[in-house]
Structure 1
Amino acid sequence: MSVIVKTDPTVVAQVVDLITRERTKALSVREWQHRIAGYGYCVRDTQYGQIVETLPHHVPVCTLPVDLAA
């Protein structure tokens, strides 16, 4: 079962691209999470795995790609 409901594939692709670029720039996971928070996103652990959410409303955007999982 997926937590993500009604997401636009274009938006998901842009968000994944953004968080991937920010991960390459960050020296640690903590810095990376701080950097993406500046763009209005966070990574949260759930029973379904790690998901990317918007801040401050915590609306799920997509699941975190496996290669970015901390």
Structure 2
Amino acid sequence: MQELMRSNDVVLLSFVDALLKDADIPHFLADVHMSILDGSIGVLPRRVLVDTDRMDQARRILKDADLGHELS
């Protein structure tokens, strides 16, 4: 798996999660439970990981949703 993007914005992460689910792209939201370590203040970014063979498709979906600036 490769990192598609990282963000502290939980709304953005939720939107990207929904976009990838709708496109049936296998992905994993990493570091979701790291808020335990940072005291729930959202300092540590969460990462969206995508299967390497589907990375181009996932990047295209985010660009089409005008989120290209969020890509890693």
What's the TM-score, normalizing by structure 1?
A: 0.35
What's the TM-score, normalizing by structure 2?
A: 0.34
The structure number with the bigger radius of gyration is: 2
Greater relative contact order (CA < 8 Å, ≥ 6 in sequence): 2
Of Structure 1 and Structure 2, the greater helix share is in: 2
